[in-house]
Structure 1
Amino acid sequence: MARDPSSSIEIRVLSKRGSNVIHPVEVDTPPLLPSPSPGPVPVVYREIKHFKKWVPWLIPSFVVANIIMFGITMYVNNCPKNSISCIADFLGRFSFQPFKENPLLGPSSSTLQKMGALDVSRVVDRHQGWRLITCIWLHGGVFHLLANMLSLLVIGIRLEQEFGFVKVGLLYVISGFGGSLLSGLFIQENISVGASGALFGLLGGMLSELITNWSIYANKLAAFLTLVIIIAINLAVGILPHVDNFAHIGGFLSGFLLGFVFLIRPQFGWVSQIYASPEHSTSPKPKFKTYQCILWVASVILLIIGLTLGLVMLLRGVDANDRCSWCHYLSCVPTSKWSCKTEPAYCLSNQIGNQLNLTCSSNGKSSIYLLADPTSSQIQGLCSQLCN
């Protein structure tokens, strides 16, 4: 049977993101002019737009908030007042702790604890569960902050443009919470800070988005290699003190599951049929493919079970290191340049005139300082240096 050329309509899809992804967009189609002579009617190209581009503002706001919190933390730290020596003295009270105490150019452990770092003993014994959230807005130092914020801008803005601030915001916060839970199960003595768990949640979400929306990607290998490079850089930073790789892992797993829930796209056949004319419509296609629905349901179930089980275990004081004696090396590798003991130090002090005698309770080291009427913050700062 011959096909009527006058009713032929072709749907054409263009990409605004180069050859990486198929992205339907809408452009103006020139009007058809009447044909001066009999002949076939020209084909009408109908451009469609389904995926909305969002203006990113939440991720930049998160970056500003993290930078402000780091500035406040350094102001509270006040190294010249609380330590004998500081790095970058010209910065005044914003100067950094000695490199041996904090190689990331940042504050002391006691300051981070005061500002809301994750301290399992306080979460369990003092019911300070809010630390599971506040710790993701703190950073151990300048290097830690820069690595996280640059990665957050590169990854987060792209996701917010594609999926909006609500989904990306929930992905960020819930992943950070998941990272804190896993960190709390393994980091029983040391404190933990960093937005790395939330950042790795975005990375995990990108990976699951690549899987669940597999058919729309033209260059899958390039997207995969980009993820691997960013993950490798952040894992390398994670072996330093004050940075927690357990938060990275927990955040990545949480974000990976959340990506199947929040970052799912309708299949292209469903998008095409809503623009097709009735005479060209075929059998209706569901909005999502079967494997997308299966992944969505499985991810929701696993996420609820994982977060609930992790929270219950943490509040009951379960130490996951009892079942994995070597796992602590995933978070910090000790060297001659730094120690992995980032918990607040405790010292025995004795003041005789201008002479202050300190003895570290953990390693037994002693030292004498000439200080007249030292404050408790100064003693704590000296104690931290002595015990590291």
Structure 2
Amino acid sequence: MDHFDLKKDFSEFKATYVITIVTILVWIGQLLAFGNQATTGINLLNSGALWGPNILADPTQLWRLVTPIFLHIGWTHLLFNMFTLFFIGRQVEAVFGWKSFTLIYFISGIFGNAMSFLFSPQSLSAGASGAIFGLFGAVVGLGYFTEMPVLKQIGKTFAVLIVINLLLNVFNIGAIGSLGSTQVNIWAHIGGAIGGLLLSAIFPPKSLKRAIPAHYKIITSIVFAGLLLAFIILPFMTN
């Protein structure tokens, strides 16, 4: 049996390790700041959770599309997401490399939160789920855009994981409703998956850059930017 080398593993999957560690530290910070009241609606809001009415009233709070990626609403929520990130994330990072992995993770999370801002503005939400769905979507997209048989097969497996997870969303904790009722922010999950799929062509692995036709990169860049702007602008126009 091979001896596990933490230093070597960290150097190979440093983005996954760093993101996991930082997210756990943020949760510890939530507990230190608010104790057993850390997951109440008002304290999640004060911690930086996504809350549409605040953004609509004060557009400078668009930073709330970013901060929820680091926040969680309980130990179960945190551990489930970090377990998934650590074990699935290492596989995805091995394919994309740490730079593309990091960009896809955070930008997918923002994209998912922006979609939630448009379609579910009254949900006070937090969690890394949208960003994690982005990693799933990136693997699916890489298989589609490269058209390589092995990657296409892996992509199909991850597509099944996305569908299953979306179907099981009713059993997961992903958001807090406007009055503190528990619900799943499925829009952030769907948005994260779509964002990751598109970003796989924009930030592909170095070794596969030439395997993705140039027109895919152009189209996905335009679609991604257009959708993100629509998700952010439309709520202000319809409010």
* TM-score, normalised relative to structure 1: 0.52
For residues 297-321 of structure 1, give each alpha carbon's deviation from its aligned partner in whole angstroms, at most 9, with x where no partner exists. Answer: 110110111111221113x1536xx
For residues 156-197 of structure 1, give each alpha carbon's deviation from its aligned partner in whole angstroms, at most 9, with x where no partner exists. Answer: 212222322211111111111101111111222230111111
Q: 1:65 maps to which residue? A: 22
Give unpaired runs (5+ residues) of structure 2. 1-10, 174-181
Is 2:78 aligned against 1:145?
A: yes
For residues 317-374 of structure 1, give each alpha carbon's deviation from its aligned partner in whole angstroms, at most 9, with x where no partner exists. Answer: 536xxxxxxxxxxxxxxxxxxxxxxxxxxxxxxxxxxxxxxxxxxxxxxxxxxxxxxx
Do the aligned residues in 1 keep the contact of 2:143 with 2:153 (CA within 8 Å)?
Answer: no
Is 2:111 aligned against 1:189?
A: no
For residues 44-87 of structure 1, give each alpha carbon's deviation from its aligned partner in whole angstroms, at most 9, with x where no partner exists. Answer: xxxxxxxxxx82101111111111112222233323xx6xxxxx
Instruction: Specify which of 288, 294, 303 is matched with residue 224 of structure 2.
Output: 303
Do the aligned residues in 2 keep the contact of 1:175 with 1:201 (CA within 8 Å)?
Answer: yes
Question: Structure 1 vs Structure 2: percent identity of aligned residues?
Answer: 28
Distance between the aligned counterparts of 2:141 and 2:165, measured in 1?
20
Instruction: Specify which of 239, 253, 258 is matched with residue 199 of structure 2.
Output: 258
Q: 2:113 maps to which residue? A: 180
Mapping of residues 12-91 of structure 1, within 5 Å: 55-79=12-36
Instruction: Specify which of 112, 125, 130 is matched with residue 44 of structure 2.
Output: 112
Gap change, CA 1:266 and 1:212, over 3 Å in 2: farther
Distance between the aligned counterparts of 1:234 and 1:152, measured in 2?
17
Distance between the aligned counterparts of 2:50 and 2:26, measured in 1?
15
How far apart are 1:232 and its partner, in Å?
Answer: 2.0
Gap change, CA 1:182 and 1:251, over 3 Å in 2: same
Letter in 1 for 2:230: L
Gap change, CA 1:317 and 1:243, over 3 Å in 2: farther
CA RMSD of aligned residues (A): 2.5
Q: 2:210 maps to which residue? A: 288
Is 2:132 aligned against 1:199?
A: yes
Do the aligned residues in 1 keep the contact of 2:140 with 2:154 (CA within 8 Å)?
Answer: no
Give unpaired runs (5+ residues) of structure 1. 1-53, 83-105, 268-286, 320-388
How far apart are 1:229 and its partner, in Å?
Answer: 3.0
Do the aligned residues in 2 keep the contact of 1:192 with 1:242 (CA within 8 Å)?
Answer: no
Gap change, CA 1:294 and 1:247, over 3 Å in 2: same
Letter in 2 for 1:145: L
Q: 1:123 maps to which residue? A: 55
Q: Which segment drifts farther, 179-188 or 209-218?
A: 209-218
Distance between the aligned counterparts of 1:215 and 1:70, measured in 2?
40
How far apart are 1:242 and its partner, in Å?
Answer: 5.1
Distance between the aligned counterparts of 1:107 and 1:146, measured in 2?
15
Do the aligned residues in 1 keep the contact of 2:139 with 2:158 (CA within 8 Å)?
Answer: no
Distance between the aligned counterparts of 2:165 and 2:40, measured in 1?
24
Distance between the aligned counterparts of 2:216 and 2:166, measured in 1?
27
* TM-score, normalised relative to structure 2: 0.81
Instruction: Specify which of 93, 111, 131 is matched with residue 160 of structure 1.
Output: 93
Distance between the aligned counterparts of 1:293 and 1:194, measured in 2?
34
Distance between the aligned counterparts of 1:234 and 1:143, measured in 2?
18
More RCO (CA 8 Å, sep 6+):
2
Distance between the aligned counterparts of 1:62 and 1:303, measured in 2?
24
SS in 2 for 1:130: helix
Distance between the aligned counterparts of 2:33 and 2:193, measured in 1?
31
Distance between the aligned counterparts of 1:235 and 1:194, measured in 2?
18
Distance between the aligned counterparts of 1:251 and 1:116, measured in 2?
19
Distance between the aligned counterparts of 1:121 and 1:137, measured in 2?
20
Is 2:238 aligned against 1:318?
A: yes
Query: Which structure is higher in helix share?
Result: 2
Gap change, CA 1:234 and 1:70, over 3 Å in 2: farther
